[in-house]
Structure 1
Amino acid sequence: MSEDTFEMVAAALRTDIDTGGYPPGTYLPSGPKLAERFGVHRATIYRALEDLAAEGYVELERRRPALVRERPRERMVVRDRVVYRDEIGYFFDQNAKTWRPVKPPTHRIDSPPNHVADDLGTGRSENVLIRERIMGPPEAKRGLQLAISYLPLWLVAELPVVGGSNTGPGGIYDRIEEHFDQPIQWHETIVGRAPTSAEQDALVVPASASVLVITRAARVERDAQSLVVEVNETSMPAEQFAVSYAVARDESAAWSRQSS
């Protein structure tokens, strides 16, 4: 098989997808039909489709044609390092401020992942309250973000409303700030990794995809101690996520430089 041959096939299909010939959610023709169209062996077609799958253009399933995925730049979410607020409450993505749950949110009692337990300061086998939402634009039929909040049970005991289905205007963050009579301080960490099985199901991404995960810890002060009252993990397909922020100068990089 010529390297140029499958690359030319991939380029042609990529153009077809980019120009709307195969819209997101539709299937490409079958392997035999594509082989007939391009006059190549089916193995060449499958190699080209594997490249398109690696680039996020299509999803591959056994015994089914390739499914065209939503094109990344049409749903790009750009985050910065600022929290915003509107009439509904706090939000962290300007591009996603209108997003809503595409399925009813759920909450349950269970043990969190080890790294979340460590951030919360709970034992690794200790139960917490887990609130889960699959988010997307108002017209979306599938989720583009999986947002999971983990709250320690001592907080739920003090503030039962955060454990209910209706947390009131502003949600759990407003209830926490009212309870402690102070603003929440947030710290975020962003990592890239392969999706878990739950993320594959919620975001409709293949195991070969990558997700970016924002882990955000919410802190308050009590009796001169810093308490983590919630850890939120938001996952989304990596090709639909970007981080943009101003670069601050450290004192060592201050202008103007003094001549030595």
Structure 2
Amino acid sequence: MTGATQRVADALRDAIEAGTYPPGGALPSSEDLAKAHGVAKVTAQKAVNQLAAEGYLTVVRRQPARVAEGPRRLSVVRDRKVYRDQIGYYFDQNAKPWGAIGTPTRGVATPPAHIADLLGTPRGRDVMTRTRLMAPKGSKVAHQVAISYIPVPVVAEVPAVGSSNTGPGGIYDRFEEHYGGPLEWRETVSARQSTSEEQTQLQIPANSSVLVVTREARIASGRTAVVVEVNETTMSAARFAVSYPIERDSSAGWSSTGGPRD
């Protein structure tokens, strides 16, 4: 694929994902796309064919290309395991090569009530936030919004987690170094209507639904366990699905003789 074809394909993909061309809607003709993007008609057609191959478009001869009614969904694989590479811990193998769009931000904000409850923080009290917009390499549109909520007393106890540069391994390594033990995590997956801010961040239409993965990080402090962070990752429900393997319990064992064990 030439650079011009890739540029047009990327622009059309971003527009489809942002809702500019809704499911079932027709794209402009190849001639109009060529004029809009300053390329040859054949280049525009190649970009359309590329998106059809990716599952974004349906192409019928002598008819305008249309956005597929059921756009391809990307899977967020949650398999009850945490992984680690040279950068640090990660939880979604599909998103391992992703990176931040723009500079991650830090701030102080009042968390949603359910986040405050998980943190053990009184509702209405501010906590520290760290926000990242994440996407595959080369994408200009965020696919996920990840916000870490950290209680102010925890930041005071572990100042490095409040720094702009938290060092190798990020905040999780700083927690484990400070408390001298391993973190444990628990996730909850839910769905809800997107906020106006999320619609802007993810470039999704108004009234869109989002998938939300809420992960609490807990670590032992003396004889008690402390929730040191809650991370909430939000993504378009129209573009993502949560996938995970089913593990066999010991009661569901299978024997080599070809049937269930007694």
**TM surpasses 0.5:** yes
Once residues 164 and 212 of structure 2 are traced to their aligned partners in structure 1, the CA distance between those partners, rounded to angstroms, is 25
Match in the other structure for 1:212:
211
Match in the other structure for 2:245:
245
Q: Does 1:136 align with 2:125?
A: no
Once residues 117 and 105 of structure 2 are traced to their aligned partners in structure 1, the CA distance between those partners, rounded to angstroms, is 23
Offset of residue 201 of structure 1: 1.2
Q: CA RMSD in A?
A: 2.8
Instruction: Note closer, same or farther for the CA distance 1:141–1:247 as it changes in structure 2 (3 Å cut).
Output: same
Q: Does 1:109 align with 2:108?
A: yes
List aligned pairs for 1:215-226, cutoff 5 A.
215-226=214-225
Offset of residue 147 of structure 1: 0.1
Offset of residue 143 of structure 1: 0.4
Q: Deviations over 1:16-62 (max 9, x none)?
A: xxxx8x9424566x99x99xxxxxxxxxxxxxxxxxxxxxx79xxxx
Offset of residue 250 of structure 1: 6.1
Give the aligned residue type for 2:183. I
Offset of residue 88 of structure 1: 0.5
Match in the other structure for 1:24:
13
Q: Report how many aligned residue pairs link the two structures.
A: 204
Q: Deviations over 1:162-196 (max 9, x none)?
A: 11110001100010011111110000000011112
> What TM-score comes out, normalization by structure 1 length?
0.70
Identity of aligned residues (%): 48
Q: Matched residue of 1:161: which SS?
A: helix
Q: Contact conserved, 2:104 with 2:131, CA < 8 A, in 1?
A: yes
Unaligned runs of 5+ in 2: 1-8, 30-55, 58-65, 255-259
Give the aligned residue type for 2:13. P
Give the aligned residue type for 2:249. R
Match in the other structure for 2:182:
183
Match in the other structure for 1:156:
155
Match in the other structure for 2:125:
126
Q: Contact conserved, 1:185 with 1:219, CA < 8 A, in 2?
A: yes
Unaligned runs of 5+ in 1: 1-19, 35-56, 59-66
Offset of residue 74 of structure 1: 6.7
Q: Contact conserved, 1:23 with 1:68, CA < 8 A, in 2?
A: no
Once residues 227 and 248 of structure 1 are traced to their aligned partners in structure 2, the CA distance between those partners, rounded to angstroms, is 31
Q: Matched residue of 2:140: which SS?
A: coil
> What TM-score comes out, normalization by structure 2 length?
0.70
Offset of residue 205 of structure 1: 1.0
Match in the other structure for 1:233:
232
Q: Contact conserved, 1:24 with 1:68, CA < 8 A, in 2?
A: no
Instruction: Note closer, same or farther for the CA distance 1:178–1:210 as it changes in structure 2 (3 Å cut).
Output: same
Match in the other structure for 1:198:
197
Once residues 170 and 203 of structure 1 are traced to their aligned partners in structure 2, the CA distance between those partners, rounded to angstroms, is 26
Instruction: Note closer, same or farther for the CA distance 1:193–1:74 as it changes in structure 2 (3 Å cut).
Output: closer
List aligned pairs for 1:6-25, cutoff 5 A.
23-25=12-14
Give the aligned residue type for 2:117. D
List aligned pairs for 1:19-58, cutoff 5 A.
23-26=12-15
